[in-house]
Amino acid sequence: MPSDTRTSNTATREARTGSHPGASGSGTHARTLAGIQAAIHAAPARGLTVDFNLGSSLDMCTNNGGDVLTLAGALTAPAVTSIDWQKQSAWLAAGASIADVSRELLVQGWALATLGGTASSTVAGALALDARGPHNSDDSETSGLPRMIEFVDGVGNTRQFVGGAANSPAITAIVAGLGLTGVCTEIELPLRPVSTGWMLVDSRRCETSDEVFAQLSGGPTGVYTMARIDPTGRGTGLGRGIAVSGRFAKVAELPEIRQPNALEYVDCAAGRNASRVPLRVGNAATRRALKGITHRTAAAQRRAELIPMASFFHADCELRAAGRELANTITYEFVVPVDQSEMIPRFLDRIGHLKVVGQAATLTRHAPRATGPLGITTDGWKLTIDLDTDVPGLGRVLDDWDEKVAAAGGQVSLATDSRMRIDMIAAMYPDLAKWQELRRYIDPQGHFSSNLARRLSL
C-alpha cells in the first residue's frame, strides 16, 4: 500500500476536548494533524467515530459509549486549498462542508463533478457515504471519484492513497468506507466548469410508475434527472411522481438582475425551513391525504424553472435529515437491478397497506460507478424514502423486503441503515471480507468504530 508522499498542508495540529452537539458519545475537536493523532491514541474501548456533520440520527455517525471526533480549524478552512485548472481538480479540506467548498469553487467558475447528500455534510462525509445526487447520463464509472486522498490511519500515521480509477487504493479504502478506515484530512476531487450557480429545471407530473421510469431513462447530454415519488398512489397510480430534469444555466439564460451575481452560491434552505413547520401533522390518515393532495395539485408540466444549484442537488437529502432529527423517521434506501423496476411500486404497495406515511421519497437511476466494497454497485433503480417508525409491523416488512432485494440481486444501503439484520450483509456485499482485511491493515487495533459497525460486525 502506498503511504504519504505529499507534504501535508496541515502539518502541525492540536486537539481540544469538549461536548459534542450532534452525535452520541463524548466529543473531541481536532484542529490539527497532531490533534487527530492524539484523539486516535486516546480512543476508548468502544472506539472513535468521525463526525461528518450528518446529525445523530444515522448509526454510522453515532458511537454510544465511545468518542466522536469533529474536525475544526485548519482542517475545515479554507475549504479549497488549491485548484489545478489543467487537470480540472481541486485539493479540499476534508472537514469543510460541501456548501463551503461549493461557495469557494463557484466564484472561480467551478463546481464539484458530483454533488449529492446534504450541503452541510463534510467532504469526507460525502465520500464515506458515497453520496450521489441526481443521475447524469454523461457520468462515467470514475466520474466524481477522488484523485488523491490524504488521511490518518488507525496507528496515527499519515497516508496518501491514489484514486481516480476503479479498485485504486483510495477508492477501496475510503469511498463508502463509512468512516471506519481513517480520518481524511485533504482530498483531491475532480471539477466541472460552470458559468452560473443556477439550474434550469423542467418537471413533469407522471401518473404511473411506467411514465416515471420512461422519463428517467436516457436523457440529453449534461442533464441531471430524478423523480420525487408520491408514496400515497394506489392501483395504477403506484409509483407516480414528479420527474425532474435540470442542467446548469448559462449567464445569458438568467434574468438580467441576476446576471452580475451569476456565480453567487445560494444556500439550500430546505432543512432550515423544515425545522419551522410541523413534520408530523395530525394522524397518519391526515398526513397521507396531504401527500396525495400535493401530487394532484402539482403543475402538469413546468419548463425552464430557475433553481439554485444547492437546492437542486441537496434539498431532498436536507429534508430527510430534518425528518430523522425532528420527526424520528428512518431512511430506507435500496437499489434493484434495471430489469427489476417493478419492485419499486411493489414496495410502495407493501408499505401502503401498513398505512406508513413515506416522506421525501426519491427515485434515481443508479448507474455503475467505482466504489468501495461497502458501496452500492448494482446497476439499477434507487429508491430513497423516509418512514415513520411508530407503525406496528414495519420492522417485519422491512426485514422481508431486505431478503427480496438481496434475492433480486439488489442492495440495501448501509450508509442510511439503522435496522438491517447481520445475516443479510454477506448476500448484498460479497466483498465484505476483502474490506475487513483492508480495515485490519489500516486500523489493526480497531480504533475506528460506530453503532453501525458494532451492530453489523463490520
Asked if the structure places residue 64 within a domain, the reply is: no
Look at the chain and report how many structural domains it folds into.
1
In a domain? residue 157: no
pTM: 0.89
Exposure string over 61-95, b if 16+ CB within 10 A, otherwise e? bbbeebbbbbbbbbbbeebbbebeeeeebbbbbbb
Packing angle, helices 394-407 and 343-353, rounded to 10: 170
pLDDT tens digits for range 238-294? 999 999 999 999 999 999 999 999 999 999 876 555 444 444 555 556 666 666 677
Q: What is the pLDDT of residue 289?
A: 62
Domain interval for residue 356: 198-421
Tens-place pLDDT, residues 172-184? 888 889 999 999 9
Query: Does some domain include residue 22?
Result: no
* CATH number of the domain residue 366 falls in: 3.40.462
User: What is the bridge-based pairing of β-strands 380-388 and 329-337?
Assistant: antiparallel
* Cα distances (Å, whole numbers) of residue 127 to 75, 189, 207, 307: 16, 10, 35, 25
pLDDT tens digits for range 428-443? 999 999 889 989 999 9
Total residue length of the chain = 458
- pLDDT of 458 strictly over 60: yes
The pLDDT of residue 14 is above 90 = no
Q: Is residue 436 part of a domain?
A: no
In a domain, 104, yes or no: no
Residue 305 lies in a domain: yes
Q: Stretch 153-171: mean pLDDT, rounded?
A: 82
What are the backbone angles phi and psi of residue 298, rounded to the nearest 5°? Answer: -70, 150
Phi, psi of 106 (to 5 degrees): -65, -40
In three-state secondary structure terms, 210 is helix
Tell me, yes or no, whether 61 lies in a domain: no
What does the pLDDT look like over 142-153, one tens digit per residue?
A: 677 889 999 999
Q: Is residue 236, in this structure, part of any structural domain at all?
A: yes
Check if the beta carbon of residue 130 is closer than 8 Å to that of residue 371: yes
Report whether the peptide linkage leading into residue 78 is cis, meaning its omega lies within 30 degrees of zero. yes
